[in-house]
Amino acid sequence: MARYLTRRFANTITTALICAVSHVAVAQQTAPVVAAPVKPAAVGPAPAPTATPVAIQKAQLLFPAFNDAQYRGSQTAGRPTLLVFAQHGHPVWLKQAPTLQVIMRSADRIDADVFQVDITDRAVCSGFKVTAPGTILVMKDGMERLRGNGMVREAALKKFLRLIPTL
């Protein structure tokens, strides 16, 4: 029993030393944090900015642009409405757009009104509580029935769109 305890104690001490040494080695490898130099306050008027603001590009329209009057008309008629949120150059939208376009032009196309909403249109996006491009909403009778975020695979999009007639 004494041998067992001695061996166990020796193993514990060895493990503790290895941990301590490796901790010290890691601490020595990290670079010290140096505060950034403080720029003195400029005397006189501040120079005018030279860069001109860049205009935000809207995503290319693949579907009719969102129109509030048309949207409300399809909702009062009881038709399902598909809202596709897009953003120019966003990776999800770049993958999702051609797939959606192929599905919507195929023979098994869903019977719904489709509108494309640019994510830069903050008023519409906040009204539907959408913050990311690649979001697809299915609205019917003025209520959100389905929401899909970031679906880019054709099988996933087809499965999602197959749910619309059941609403």
What does the pLDDT read at residue 60?
Answer: 74
Q: CATH second-level architecture of 68-166?
A: 3-Layer(aba) Sandwich (3.40)
Predicted confidence (pLDDT) per residue in 36-53, tens digit: 444 444 454 555 555 555
Predicted confidence (pLDDT) per residue in 110-159, tens digit: 788 899 999 988 999 999 999 999 999 999 988 999 999 988 999 999 99
Beta-sheet strand order (sheet of 81-86): 113-118, 81-86, 135-140, 143-149
Rounded to an integer, what distance in angstroms lies between the CA atom of residue 126 and that of residue 149?
16
Bridge-partner residues for 118, per DSSP?
Answer: 86
What three-state secondary structure class fits 143? strand
Token readout for 30 is 């990290």
